[in-house]
Homo-oligomer: A and B are copies of this chain.
Amino acid sequence: MTKTIEDFKKILQEKNIRLSHQRLKVLEYLVQNKTHPSVDDIYINLQKDLPSLSKATVYNTLNMLEEVGLVNVLTIEDNENHYEITSKNHGHFKCTSCKKIYDFTLDVEEIKSTDLADFEIKERDVYFRGLCPECLDSDQDSSDK
Binding site for B on A (CB under 8 A): 73, 75-78, 81, 91, 93, 96, 102-106, 111, 113-116, 118-133, 136
Known A102-B115, A123-B128, A125-B126; further 17 A-B contacts with Cβ < 8 A = A75-B78, A91-B111, A91-B113, A93-B116, A102-B119, A106-B111, A106-B113, A119-B130, A119-B132, A119-B133, A120-B136, A122-B130, A124-B129, A125-B125, A125-B128, A125-B129, A126-B126
The CA of A129 and the CA of B72, in the complex, are separated in Å by 13
13 sample A-B contacts, Cβ–Cβ < 8 Å, listed by A number: A103-B115, A104-B113, A106-B111, A118-B136, A119-B131, A119-B136, A120-B130, A120-B136, A121-B128, A122-B131, A125-B127, A125-B128, A127-B127
Roughly how many angstroms separate A122 CA and B129 CA in the complex, as a whole number?
6
Tell which of A105, A115, A128 has the most Cβ of chain B within 10 Å. Answer: A128
